[in-house]
Amino acid sequence: MAKMKGIQVKVFSVDKTIDVKLDLEVEEHLQWLARLVRRGAIHGVIMGPPCTTWSVARWNRLFKGPRPLRTRSEPWGRTDVKLWTWEQRQLDEGTKLLLAAITIFELVSMMDGVALLEHPADMGWAPFASIWVLEVIRKLIK
């Protein structure tokens, strides 16, 4: 449809598993993407920050798996347990990428673009953490 109207559309994935220069945990990479948005080069985004540390599957004790790192009352990280180094890295990565997604979401929205945020649905009760109950997210989707 865009081609018929003479509009060129380019779609690209910003993912460090595709290219380490696209790691939005790195501030200069996030600022590069933000500059593209401010210049009007990006008109729409679909953001999907990793759900790894937000997943309700971490609460499933029927199978051996990673333990929960977030709770509904402590969505930025549990303080009732000592985290292993690798768990802290996972938590930090999930938090940084969520905050990066929020930054780009806000910028695209301010530029009258289309911004979508994809993440698992909220279970609706404790102990399950969810980005959808975070104040910063609730303000975005109003």
| Distance between CA atoms of residues 125 and 106, nearest Å | 27
Is pLDDT of 1 > 70?
no
pLDDT at 9 over 90: no
Instruction: Tell me what pLDDT residue 16 has.
Output: 86
The Cα 46–Cα 104 span in angstroms is: 10
Distance CA 28, CA 39 (A): 16
* pLDDT for res 59: 95
pLDDT digits (tens, 9 = 90+) for 11-54: 878 888 888 888 999 999 999 999 999 999 999 999 999 999 99
Taking only the tens place, the pLDDT of each residue in 74-113 is 999 999 999 999 999 999 999 999 999 999 999 999 999 9
pLDDT for residue 131 is more than 80: yes
Burial class of residue 123, CB neighbours in 10 A (0-12, 13-18, 19+): middle
- The residues pairing with 94 across neighbouring beta strands, listed in sequence order, are none
Cα–Cα distance for residue pair 76/18, rounded to 1 Å: 27
Rounded CA separation 67/64 (Å): 9
Question: How many whole angstroms separate alpha carbon 60 and alpha carbon 120?
Answer: 16
CA 128, CA 49: separation in Å to the nearest integer? 17
The pLDDT of residue 116: 93
**DSSP structural state of residue 37:** H
Q: Is the pTM of this model over 0.85?
A: yes
Q: Is pLDDT of 142 > 80?
A: no
Q: Residue written as tokens 């540390």? A: 53
pLDDT at 128: 97
